[in-house]
Chain A
Amino acid sequence: MDAKEFLVALKVKTGYDFCDYSEQSISRRLLKICEEQNIQFEQLLDKVIADSLYMARFVEDITVNTTELFRDPIVWISLYKTLYQRLRTTGIITFWHIGCSVGLETYSNLILLKERGLIDRVRVFGTDLNPRVLNVARKGLYAYKFNSHFKNNFEEVMSGIGSKSKFEDYFDVDEVKDTMAVKPFLTEIPKYMQQNLVMEKCPFPYKVDVVFVRNVLIYFNDVLQTKIMQMIDSKTYDKAVLILGKQEMIPTKYSGQYEQVGYYHKRM
Chain B
Amino acid sequence: MSDYKAVVIGGSAGSFAVVLKMLSQLRADFELPIIICMHRLKHIRSGLVESLNVKSQKEVIEPFDKQRIEQGKVYLAPSNYHMFIEFDGTISLSVEDMNNQSRPSIDYTLSSAAVAYREKCLGIILTGANKDGAKGLKDIADKKGFTIVQDPKTADVPTMPKAALEIMKPDLILTPDQITDYLNKL
Contact = CB atoms under 8 A, between A and B. Distances in A.
Interface string B104-115: 000010011001
Contacts of B86: 22-24
B96 interface: yes
Nearest to B113: A24
Given A24-B92, A245-B95, A247-B62, 4 more contacts: A25-B96, A66-B95, A218-B66, A249-B64
Interface centre among B63, B65, B93, B96 (most CB of A within 10 A): B65
Contacts of B111: 28
Interface of A: 22-25, 28-29, 64, 66, 215, 217-219, 221-222, 225, 245-249, 251
Contacts of B108: 28
A22 B64 contact: no
24 contacts: A22-B84, A24-B85, A24-B86, A24-B115, A25-B82, A25-B84, A28-B84, A28-B108, A28-B112, A64-B94, A66-B97, A215-B95, A218-B65, A218-B93, A222-B66, A245-B95, A246-B78, A247-B62, A247-B65, A247-B78, A247-B93, A248-B64, A249-B66, A251-B66
Interface size class, chain B: 20 to 34
Given A22-B86, A24-B84, A24-B116, A64 B62 contact: no
B96 A64 contact: yes
B182 interface: no
A217 B66 CA distance: 10
Contact of B65 (A28, A29, A64, A249): A249
Nearest to B112: A24
Interface in B64-86: 64-67, 78, 81-82, 84-86
Nearest to B62: A247
Nearest to A249: B64
A22 B78 contact: no
Interface in B40-68: 62-67
Contacts of B95: 64, 66, 215, 218, 245
A247 B92 contact: no
Interface centre among B62, B95, B112, B115 (most CB of A within 10 A): B95
A222 B86 CA distance: 12
B96 A66 contact: yes
Nearest to B97: A66
Interface in B113-129: 115-116
Contacts of B85: 24
Contacts of A24: 84-87, 92, 112, 115-116
A215 B65 CA distance: 10
B78 A25 contact: no
B87 A23 contact: yes
Nearest to B81: A247
Contacts of A25: 82, 84, 92, 94, 96
A221 B66 CA distance: 8
Nearest to A214: B95
Given A28-B108, A248-B65, A219 B78 contact: no
